[in-house]
A and B are shown apart, each in its own frame.
Chain A
Amino acid sequence: MRHIKGFLIHIILIFVCILCLLPFLWLTSTALKGAGENIFAYPPVFIPEDFTFENFKMVLILVPIVGYALNSFIVASFTVVLNLIFSALAAYPLARMNFKGKNIIFFGILATIMVPFQAIMLPIYIITLKLNLVDSYGNLNGYLGLILPFAVNAFGIFLLRQAFLAVPRELEESAVIDGCNSLQIFFKVLLPLIKPSLAVLAIFIFIGSWGEFLWPSIILTKDSLYTLPVGINDLQGAFSANYRLIAAGSIVSIIPIVIFFLSLQKYFIQGSTEGAVKG
């Protein structure tokens, strides 16, 4: 009885895993098919008969995918760094200090969680234009326009606030006796203690920023500043008739994030236990 149950569970889970991989495998298969092979063949052929890496070479020559990946990496990395610094700084007084207006600030930040970005993106766009944070004023401005609207995330502030609350007060008190000021306590005592939460936050912000499509597609005008999602979506227009190249480009674009995910998997699993941010 036990065995039958275990067997059934494996069958179902393997089936679900196949479904989860199928779209990507089919894309890979299409990307590996040469010009001599009909990609609409009936019945479909999974293992390419005219096997070739030509499509990957072509798409890398025709489209600056590596450049897109670099842009995505720059934007995601700085978004992560700024989020960690600003969220941690803001979370500390909310967890540990008493001051006037604390409740107003607390609920003000909480309110930002309830409002979807899509509902306020039009004025954000206008403000970003007025601050000249667009690529027509240079690459640095372009990057800042991609990063700054997402440089603070209220989820992060609350995640780190909870982490600070879990640190025993005695540690701080002994640091005060040793003559540390607030900044020293923050950087030398508290930050090292909440490293696991910082790691979880970093990873989820990175994934979110890496996959973000709507904002960069609105704000970017220069092809050279495209992030991966924007660049990959553009492949559809550029190669409308050539699904081999679209498929090859799409597959190349997911390699970095899949490696990132597999190498940091334990943090992903830990992150979901802390109810982290949705990417």
Chain B
Amino acid sequence: MQSYKKITPYLFLFPAILLLTIFFFLPFFQTIIYSFQDYSNDIYNPVFGTLLNYKTLYNSPIFIKSLVNTFYFLILTTPFLVVFPLFLAILINQKIKGKTFYKLIIYLPVVVSIVVVAIAFKWLYAPNGLLNYFMETFNLPHINWLSSPRVAMISVALVTIFKGVGYYMMIYLASLMSVPKELYEAAEIDGANEFQKHMTVTIPHLMPTIALVSTISAISALKVFVEIYVMTKGGPLDSTKTIVYYIYERAFENLDIGLASAACVVLLIVVMIFSIINILCFERKKYGL
């Protein structure tokens, strides 16, 4: 009986740990090992202990461009996804009718598959599509949304923003519920107007949530892939090629395991830095740390 009790926790943990070992820990260490292997002589008998893949990456203009593009994409999406959903959440949190209706509609793009959203936007972005018609109505020139290397990344970022606003708005709405009402009343007595009330009460109170949204939206920006795969395939002229797209090409189109794995390690390091900050600074409670 006593010995049974001792192994009980391990029995409970066993299925999860087995699966995480096969589909997480093992591939995690393999990625690192592959990245230090030279596959150039014999793909079936790679030689371990080389920095060749990292050197190739470092000297690859396309990889450097993918890295730069990824951070460009992050800068295009994250600030907007931090600020705009907060603005919407504050609006919906006022005493108004139809709150649930607004929440549902704005959340809708979150549940629809990104593939469908990307297809829908591709249609809006068509050269003589709806968006260019709107441009014309405002007397603005037509834009080559997806075929101009200068604009394509912005067009992709708009899709990501469209898909994400509802998600982050809900996170803000949840923490808005915890702002004590008395603080607003006190601010009102001090003669604060609507804008000042939010600047002095809401924003400071939501600072941890704002920080949380910043890091999680940054992390998902670093991992962007599907929007690009469906709409531009990394083009035109590699202008929308990001790290994950680069990895996908090396790994599954060129079958270049070493180079793909080295790029994976770069992605791993960048994302882990953001994740560690996120977990240690903003999500301690969620994980019980």
Question: CB of A137 within 8 A of chain B?
Answer: no
Question: CB of B94 within 8 A of chain A?
Answer: yes
Contact B113 A253 (CB under 8 A): yes
Residues of A close to B54: CB separation below 8 A: none
Residues of B close to A265: CB separation below 8 A: 100, 104
Residue of A nearest to B6 (CB): A99
What 1/0 mask marks residues of chain B from 110 to 153 whose CB sits below 8 Å from any chain A CB? 11111111011101101011100100000000000000000000
Q: A44-B130, A118-B223, A232-B113 are in contact. Are A93 and B13 (CB under 8 A)?
A: yes
A73: min CB distance to chain B, Å: 14
Contact A262 B288 (CB under 8 A): no
Q: Complex: how many Å from CA A165 to CA B130?
A: 52
Q: Determine the main DSSP class of A at the interface with B.
A: helix
A68: min CB distance to chain B, Å: 11
Q: A13-B102, A40-B128 are in contact. Are A89 and B115 (CB under 8 A)?
A: no
Q: Complex: how many Å from CA A154 to CA B12?
A: 15
Which of the four size classes fits the interface of chain A?
35 or more
Q: Complex: how many Å from CA A228 to CA B173?
A: 31
Q: Which of A220-241 contact B (CB under 8 A)?
A: 228-229, 232-233, 235-236
Residues of A close to B267: CB separation below 8 A: 116, 118-119
Contact B106 A16 (CB under 8 A): yes
Q: Complex: how many Å from CA A89 to CA B130?
A: 51
Question: CB of A90 within 8 A of chain B?
Answer: yes
What 1/0 mask marks residues of chain B from 245 to 268 whose CB sits below 8 Å from any chain A CB? 001100110000100110011011
Contact B115 A115 (CB under 8 A): no
Contact B8 A97 (CB under 8 A): yes
Contact B220 A278 (CB under 8 A): yes
Question: CB of B203 within 8 A of chain A?
Answer: no
Question: CB of B15 within 8 A of chain A?
Answer: yes
Interface with A: B20-28, B44-52, B183-191, which one? B20-28
A14: min CB distance to chain B, Å: 8
Question: CB of B286 within 8 A of chain A?
Answer: yes
Interface with B: A48-56, A59-67, A144-152, A194-202, which one? A144-152
Q: A43-B133, A115-B24, A122-B264 are in contact. Are A210 and B166 (CB under 8 A)?
A: no
Q: Complex: how many Å from CA A114 to CA B98?
A: 38
Q: A99-B10, A110-B287, A262-B104 are in contact. Are A228 and B15 (CB under 8 A)?
A: no
Q: A112-B20, A122-B261, A127-B27 are in contact. Are A211 and B114 (CB under 8 A)?
A: yes
8 A-B pairs whose Cβ atoms sit less than 8 Å apart in the complex:
A6-B95, A92-B12, A97-B9, A102-B9, A118-B225, A122-B251, A275-B286, A279-B167
Binding site for A on B (CB under 8 A): 5-6, 8-10, 12-13, 15-17, 19-20, 22-28, 30-31, 34, 88, 91-92, 94-96, 98, 100, 102-117, 119-121, 123-124, 126, 128-130, 133, 162, 165-167, 170-171, 173-174, 177, 194, 216, 219-220, 222-223, 225-226, 229-230, 244, 247-248, 251-252, 257, 260-261, 264-265, 267-268, 271-272, 275-276, 279, 283, 286-288
Binding site for B on A (CB under 8 A): 5-6, 9-10, 12-13, 16-17, 19-24, 26-27, 30, 40, 42-44, 85-87, 89-90, 92-94, 97, 99, 102, 105, 108-110, 112-116, 118-127, 131, 148-149, 151-152, 154, 157-158, 161-162, 165, 182, 186, 207, 210-211, 213-214, 218, 228-229, 232-233, 235-236, 243, 246-247, 250, 253-254, 257-258, 260-262, 265, 268-269, 272-273, 275, 278-279
